[in-house]
Amino acid sequence: MEIESLGGRPVSEEAVECVERKGLGHPDTMTDLLCEAVSVSLAKEYKRLSGAVLHYNADKGFLAAGRARRAFQGGRIARPMRFFMGDRATFRAGGVKIPVAEIAVGAARKWLKENLRFVEPERHMVFHPELAPGSAQLARIYAEGARRPLGANDTSAAVGYWPLSPTEQAVLGIEGFLNSKAFKRRYPETGEDVKVMAVREKRALTVTIAMPLIDRFLRHEAEYFVRKEMILGEIDAFLRREYGGAGWFDDFLVHLNSLDVRGSGMAGIYLSVLGTSAEDADSGQAGRGNRANGLISFSRPQTIEAAAGKNPMSHTGKIYGVLSHLLAKKVFEAAGDALEAYVLLVSRIGMEINRPAAVSVKLRLPEGADIRDFSDRIEAAVEEELSEKNILSFVRRLAAGRLTVC
């Protein structure tokens, strides 16, 4: 393990910062979360049948957009969306055949029903499960089952950081607010496809949001713009209430559905039949959206590998993707005086997942602080989280779907 200090200013003190989040109904996020739903269901079934999570990866997903005919007071879907999910899985355990395709499709349908109010999976989505048996060499990694940490099934790396900057917190907060049950009750005409891009210049925050309105709730173009102004007012009030003042931002500017043009009819407004642009305008792909902490932060080092859908017991692209952020938080807390903490984890295929091939800890410290004063505490905190007991607990939570992966 290498522990070193960083120079320069924290991200929150740089002149410009840019942060993005693709929300619940964005096609890329949908694809990630559908793959993760398949992953969790497969893990649960494997454990039920064999007592252990067996070899699989369900992280190759593509959501092909359908075709919609939008209309005031209610349009229709002319061609359904198509969801392709693939990679590798175990099809037999203990002499019992496992219905992998049925499990995958069932999990995807369940996720859609629970998360997108206007999507009816049987009508609006066609499923193409393309999972196939995996290699014997990789399957061998799982022979130890759940008794001890497994060997990594890939050579990969991931980086995490803590704390979140005010801009990052605000971006997460905005999307959570707009997709909250309370907001959807007040504004049922708003879709789940919420994309937030925030740019902070010094202490001023400019937020650009895309969020469709559902056509069945609107009678004409004028009503669309009335509702849009009401929603803009809600967003502005939320930002000023939650993120205005000391330690946050001095001013806010909010843009909503920036392509809108009054007087252009259907071509000048962002309407949707189902609440997601995947119905017609935009396809989605696993790994193109949020990183494991739910953000795309352009001022931070980023993990390229996606976490969603990967095997939670041995695929370090998933395990380290999530764990690196949790470790950065532990390191930050152990250091006490740190301004920022970054943790890089590197795996080598076959090595136990709790024994990374490399661990790099970097801290940004206040002027005059000496990293040697708390290096021992940092090392102890990392080693505790990487202990066999804690790693097993961590991957079990991943397998059960109790940790955020995008």
Chunked in runs of 10, what are the mean pLDDT values of the chain (406 residues)? 93 97 98 98 93 92 98 97 94 89 97 98 97 75 67 94 98 98 98 98 98 97 97 97 93 97 94 98 96 97 94 96 98 92 96 96 92 92 96 96 96
Q: Where are the alpha helices (DSSP H) in 20-126?
A: 27-50, 100-115, 121-124
Asked if residues 339 and 10 have their Cβ atoms less than 8 Å apart, the reply is: yes
Helix axes 375-385, 388-399, angle to 10 degrees: 50
- Report the distance separating Cα 62 and Cα 39, nearest Å: 15
DSSP 157-223: EEEEEESPPHHHHHHHHHHHHHTSHHHHHH-TTB-S--EEEEEEETTEEEEEEE-PEEGGG-SSHHH
* CATH numbers and ranges of domains, the chain: 12-23+166-285 (3.30.300.340)
Distance of CA 67 to the CA centre of its chain: 26
pLDDT at site 278: 98
pLDDT recorded at residue 140: 67
pLDDT computed for residue 298 by the predictor: 97
Provide the whole-model pTM.
0.95
Q: What is the pLDDT of residue 183?
A: 98
CA-based nearest residue to 127, from 42, 35, 24: 35
For the chain, state the CA radius of gyration: 23
Strand partners, 83: 63, 127
C-alpha span between 281 and 25 (Å, rounded): 13
pLDDT at site 100: 96
Q: List Cα–Cα distances, 375 to 2, 259, 340, 371, 382, in angstroms.
A: 10, 51, 15, 6, 11
**Cis peptide before 163, with omega less than 30 degrees from 0?**
yes
